[in-house]
Amino acid sequence: MKTSSLAIGGFYCSNPSANSFDLSCQAYIDWKAEFTKVYRHFIPEEPPKSVLPIKIAILDTGIDMEHECIEEHAGSRPERVLGKNWLDEQNSTDLRDPHGHGTHIAGIILDLIPHSQIIVEKVTDGVVPDPRNLARVSLSNE
């Protein structure tokens, strides 16, 4: 990552101290502030230990666990990100994301919902997913 940018919720933004701060990043920051107010109304910043995390499944291209947004939100809490590679039975724990889409989605979710656990199901390498893989994911969770 360049020193003139930072990762916010899966986005790379120009440095907020620079004159050219990306307006889409500012819009995300503003929207997140409003979202957080509503979220905190229902879920306190530090929920009681007895409250289980919100589980969210992502069926996509995988996840880059070394991406700054993912490391920031899950680096010290690896239990926040679980998953399986449905494209490679021999390497079912390889969730590497060659396209970045799954990583982007996971970054947004981890940023917005701190009391979450995401389950990444790698079902595509960026092409239309094979319906058989989607069916296997569905059947495995019954």
Residues 6+ apart with CB under 8 A from 96: 62, 63, 64
Confidence of residue 4 (pLDDT cuts 50, 70, 90): very low
Tell me the per-residue pLDDT of 91-142, one tens digit each, with 9 for 90 and over: 889 999 999 999 999 999 999 998 899 999 999 988 888 888 888 888 886 5
Number of domains in the chain: 1
| E-state strands within the chain | 5-8, 11-14, 54-60, 81-85, 116-122
- Residue 46's domain comprises 5-140
Pairing of β 11-14 and β 5-8: antiparallel
Q: How many residues does the chain have?
A: 142
Which amino acid type is present at position 44? P
Lowest mean pLDDT among 17-31, 44-58, 100-114: 17-31
Q: Is the pLDDT of residue 21 over 80?
A: no
Distance CA 109, CA 125 (A): 21
Query: Long-range contacts made by residues 72-79, C-beta under 8 angstroms, separation at least 24?
Result: 72/7, 73/107, 73/110, 73/111, 73/114, 74/110, 79/117
The answer to whether the pTM exceeds 0.85 is: no
Percent of the chain at pLDDT exceeding 70 = 84
Q: Per-residue pLDDT averaged across 44-51, rounded?
A: 81
Tokens matching residue 114: 């701190």
User: If residue 24 lies in a helix (H) or strand (E), which one and from where to where?
Assistant: helix 23-42
Segment 13-34 shows an average pLDDT of 72
CA of residue 61 relative to chain centroid, distance? 12
Mean pLDDT, the chain, whole residue set = 83
